[in-house]
């Protein structure tokens, strides 16, 4: 992922330097496990020597890999040189115990799962923060009237706080999925060339995994099966889709024709190189764009599940790119939305203007039900309401300066002559739709991101 979207906290997890640090720890833990078991020949003193002297130099590893064309061998060669550097001439070299009975995937797959847990922990914190902001803003805008839209068309009145609340609940589900996916990928495997423990005691695997906070894979082949990783990638894609949903709503609300909300426009910010008046929703547009990357990368993870026999390497190159990019992109998306949602600028007066833009058409469902309550069949009531509504629509479409409101048309319709002013006042009160929203906010009170 390019630096533009990479936050150091997340990017560092996928740097080679950090991966080699994890590799080093796994190799040292394996040596200590062997020494604890006392069956392979390595002594506790040698294990301590390895712990005290193990290190690596990335540049040197790169030079060795240029010759070996094998990253694990290059790393082990380099680390071994540091372990043995201070060993007296003629003494046995402790590095001979490093990687004892292991294969490359024992090291690489265990380290990768550890890194994915680290990265998921950051996303869990991101998701929690954004969810808590959405919940707080929901209560702040609990009574801010706006029009609800379905199919992009004005439907019925609602409050803006419900938008924030809906996002909060979805983020809670994302949080639960992220936590579950982290658990599902928290595995390690040190089981040898095809998972038979042919040259290594299973207790070494258990020891290493326990010290890394992982669970030993109950049956690995040469690799940890990629369904674990695919599930995580799918959760990342779902979470990215939530971020895209939030961003898309803000983009639509920032349209000049709507203008009910805007992402913060910082002092000194410029909207267009050609049009100085522009205030474009560029940050939420970026979120939508990066969501496509994360969702597409999930397909890569799904394709990585089916490997040949006990393992091939077709998954490796793909996931080196896709996994890091997905985590870095989603972290950046969260950071953008945390700032945007927390500082989202709202325009209640414009919301009311939009709510009244269709001259009362949004009250059609209440008129329909009230006519039914008076004894008119639903079919006849629907006909009355629709005829008057379509006449109002036509006048709105033509910008007719002599057009009347939906309510005025109903008053003039002899089929509605039995409706009193008091009844119409009640029907055409936007709060008549919202008498039960306390239920929604009572439920939201119970929402926790702990």
Give CA–CA dist 220/222, Å, rounded: 6
Q: Answer whether 55's CB lies under 8 Å from 78's CB.
A: no
DSSP string covering 241-298: HHHHHHHHHHHHHTSTTT-SEE----TT--S-SS-TT----HHHHHHHHHHHHHHHHH
Quote the distance between the C-alpha of residue 9 and its chain's center: 16
Contacts of 301 (CB under 8 A, 6+ apart): 226, 229, 230, 232, 233, 234, 319, 322, 323
Q: Which of 11, 51, 4 is nearest to 29 (CA)?
A: 51
- 153 strand-pairing partners: 150
Distance CA 105, CA 111 (A): 9
Q: Of 151, 273, 277, 317, which is the active-site residue?
A: 151
Kindly give, in sequence order, each residue whose CB lies less than 8 Å from that of residue 401, ignoring residues fewer than 6 positions away: none
CA distance 159 to 441: 11
Q: Torsions phi, psi of 204, nearest 5?
A: -65, -45
Distance, in Å, from the CA atom of 92 to the CA atom of 80, rounded to the nearest integer, reads 13
Contacts of 85 (CB under 8 A, 6+ apart): 53
Closest by alpha carbon to 305, among 233, 205, 216? 233
**Assigned token pair, 359:** 């001259």
* CA–CA distance, 196 with 176 (Å, rounded to integer): 35
SS (H, E, C) 119-150: HHHHHHHHHHHHHHHHHHHHHHCCCCEEEEEE
Burial 213-223 (b: 16+ CB within 10 A, else e): ebebbeebbbb
Phi and psi, residue 400, nearest 5°? -65, 115
Question: Which of 198, 199, 272, 314 does the annotation list as catalytic?
Answer: 272
- d(CA 198, CA 144) in angstroms, rounded, equals 67
Q: Is 272 a catalytic residue?
A: yes
User: Any catalytic annotation for residue 228?
Assistant: no
Q: Which DSSP string corresponds to 219-251?
A: S-SSS--THHHHHHHHHHHHHHHHHHHHHHHHH
Residues with catalytic roles:
151, 272
């Amino acid at each position: 992922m390019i630096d533009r979207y990479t936050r150091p906290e997340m990017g560092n997890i996928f740097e080679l330097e950090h991966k080699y640090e994890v590799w080093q720890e796994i190799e040292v833990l394996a040596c200590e496990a062997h020494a604890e078991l006392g069956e392979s020949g390595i002594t506790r003193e040698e294990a301590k020597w390895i712990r005290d002297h193990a290190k690596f130099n990335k540049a040197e590893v790169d030079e060795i890999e240029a010759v070996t064309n094998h990253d694990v061998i290059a790393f082990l060669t380099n680390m071994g040189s540091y372990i043995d550097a201070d060993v007296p001439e003629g003494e046995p070299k402790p590095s001979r115990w490093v990687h004892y009975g292991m294969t490359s995937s024992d090291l690489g797959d265990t380290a990768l799962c550890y890194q994915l847990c680290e990265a998921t922990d950051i996303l869990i914190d991101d998701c929690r923060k954004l969810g808590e902001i959405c919940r707080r803003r929901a209560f702040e805008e609990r009574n801010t009237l706006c029009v609800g839209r379905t199919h992009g068309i004005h439907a019925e009145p609602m409050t803006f706080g419900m938008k924030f609340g809906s996002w909060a609940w979805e983020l809670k589900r994302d949080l639960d999925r992220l936590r579950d996916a982290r658990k599902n990928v928290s595995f390690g495997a040190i089981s040898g060339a095809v998972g038979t423990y042919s040259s290594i005691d299973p207790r070494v695997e258990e020891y290493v995994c326990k010290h890394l906070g992982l669970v030993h894979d109950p049956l690995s082949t040469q690799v940890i099966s990629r369904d674990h990783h695919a599930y995580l990638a799918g959760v990342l894609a779902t979470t990215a889709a939530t971020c895209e949903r939030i961003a898309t709503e803000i983009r639509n609300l920032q349209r000049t024709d709507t203008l009910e909300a805007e992402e913060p426009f910082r002092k000194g910010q410029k909207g267009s190189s050609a049009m100085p008046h522009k205030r474009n929703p560029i940050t939420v547009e970026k979120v939508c764009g990066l969501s496509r990357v994360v969702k597409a990368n999930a397909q890569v993870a799904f394709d990585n599940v089916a490997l040949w026999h006990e393992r091939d390497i077709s998954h490796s190159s793909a996931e080196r790119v896709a996994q890091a990019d997905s985590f870095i992109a989603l972290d950046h998306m969260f950071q953008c939305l945390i700032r945007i949602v927390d500082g989202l600028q709202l325009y209640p007066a414009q919301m009311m203007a939009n709510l009244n833009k269709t001259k009362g058409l949004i009250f059609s469902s209440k008129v329909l039900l009230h006519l039914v309550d008076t004894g008119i069949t639903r079919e006849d009531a629907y006909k009355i309401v629709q005829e008057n509504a379509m006449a109002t629509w036509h006048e709105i479409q033509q910008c007719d300066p002599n057009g009347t409101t939906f309510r005025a048309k109903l008053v003039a319709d002899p089929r509605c002559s039995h409706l009193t002013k008091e009844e119409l006042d009640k029907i055409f009160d936007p709060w008549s739709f919202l008498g039960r929203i306390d239920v929604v906010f009572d439920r939201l009170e119970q929402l926790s991101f702990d």
